[in-house]
Amino acid sequence: MKYFDADFFNDSKLREMEDGAIEFNVPAFRDNRKLVALENGGLHNPSALVFKSSWNGESKISKRKSLDYPITSSVHRPSKDEDIAFMSIMELGELIRTKQVTSRELTDVFLRRLKRYSPVIKSVITVTDDLAYKQAKEADDLLEQGKYLGLLHGIPYGLKDIIAVPEYKTTWGSKTFENQVLDIEAYVYKRLKSTGAVLVAKLVTGSLAYDDIWFGGRTRNPWNIEEFSTGSSAGPAASTSAGMVPFAIGSETAGSITYPAARCGVTALRPTFGTVARTGVMSISESLDKLGPFCRSAIDCAVVLDEIRGKDAGDPSSREVDIEDPFHVDITQLTVGYLDSAEMEVVNVLSAKGVKLVPFKLNYTVESVQSILNITMDVDMLAHFDNWQREGLDNVYEAQDQWPVELRRARLIPAVEYLQAQRARGKLIREVKESFTVDAFIGNATDWELVCLGNLVGMPVAVVPTGFKSIEDPPKSGTRRRTTITTGIYAPPDHDHIALALAMAYQSVTDHHKQRPPIDDLGSDNDV
């Protein structure tokens, strides 16, 4: 009992507890596991305990409103495929709409890049050639018939390989599930298919959505290929950074969007919890998991979020969120805080754009933020991979110091302590809500305390590239490799539009997000 921090029972009580456990508890445990735990991954039988992140209760959405996108005009097709590969969704969409390029041609460009760079960057699990060409033809045929479905019509993209697509492997990045094919069409894939977007690849997830190690190796950072990408949305971040896809969908439970986006220097959005339904997606934690876009810009993130958001019956935590239009936000009416960790260039740029910037700090008394996150995530994950552990499959897991260790430890977290952690989480949320006296705040996107807090609360954050610095110990002959600098723009739950509007304002007068990694020319770095 000491491992449960409950070694206060005398011997007679312990014998009584043992008898009761044998007679009542263990049979109930086994009955419940037979009902819901024989399949791994948490794809079915979601928990009846549902976390809602909204601070304003449930709002009734009478009619879904689309965003009022800015008009993109005078876009001309570049002569080089390299230049096409780094165009934004808005630009590519205009090329498609005006028939300067076909979806088939775009698909060819990105399939070639996926096959060329993936062997080095190790960011792709499955290239979906046949499906891509089929969807590209459908998009081109519709346009010939005068039917244009919107900005994602004919645009190639990639999905993190925890997202199920029928007839293709969904490996979860694990050698145990390397040949798994799920007859499930994930909600987010359905949404993107309905927009006319073209799936070109299932991208790397760290094994069982933990870090950047998977059964095929370890995903690298295109800006510095001696480094690894970090975070389990490694494939979406690295592939977007390298111009292998215009955008990709990743996921976050605790840092898996923010960390790889920051490392690989791409713009990304971790949306408010519940904004995008997770039906058909491998689950770590039903109260923490979120799906979000990796893109070239904050505008592109807004475009993708607008298309993938929504509620689905298969995900009880999902909500039909009435997202306000980030393109109509008057940023001069906003008060934005900045933490000590904020990149001051962002503060200065937004101040020059008319935003009121003030020093800020989130005040809360809960000191166990990181342990609350770990208890919640690990117990939930173990519930979804109970059978995996019981069958000893953790023994062949790719990184033995990761899930195997954490989930063995999770066996020793009693239900009462899990619930105490959720009560402490509730206290944290109330204190953060009371302390959130600004419209948004700017801070480090990868500070672990802030990553844990943001995910426990369910708040959105836009990750924004803000510059570059020299790599550590560069070769004497010089190098084009760089370390990326990023920042996070955080907003209260259901205020993703504020984070996006501020990110768009910053990117309207800077070009860090438009820079291209040196994947073809490292300089004289011939040993790399």
Record the tokens describing residue 84, joined without a space: 């096409």
147 phi, psi to nearest 5 deg: -105, 110
> End-to-end distance of the chain based on CA atoms, in angstroms?
53
Is residue 68 helix, strand or coil? coil
Q: How far is CA 183 from CA 29, 163, 169, 180, in A?
A: 29, 12, 10, 10
C-beta separation of 488 from 270 below 8 A: no
Record the tokens describing residue 126, joined without a space: 């499955």
Residue 467 CA, distance from chain mean position: 22
Other Cβ atoms less than 10 A from the Cβ of 431: the count is 16
β-strands 220-221, 224-228: how paired? antiparallel
Active site (annotated) includes residue 476: no
Record the tokens describing residue 65, joined without a space: 């409103």
Active site (annotated) includes residue 341: no
Other Cβ atoms less than 10 A from the Cβ of 94: the count is 21
**How far is it, in rounded angstroms, from Cα 218 to Cα 206?**
8
Is residue 405 helix, strand or coil? helix
**How far is it, in rounded angstroms, from Cα 276 to Cα 91?**
25
Q: Angle of helix 369-384 relative to helix 403-410, nearest 10 degrees?
A: 90
Q: Which one of the listed residues 207, 232, 239, 297 is annotated catalytic?
A: 232
Active site (annotated) includes residue 256: yes
Q: Which one of the listed residues 256, 287, 317, 318 is annotated catalytic?
A: 256
Q: Which one of the listed residues 160, 169, 290, 311 is annotated catalytic?
A: 160
Active site residues: 160, 232, 256
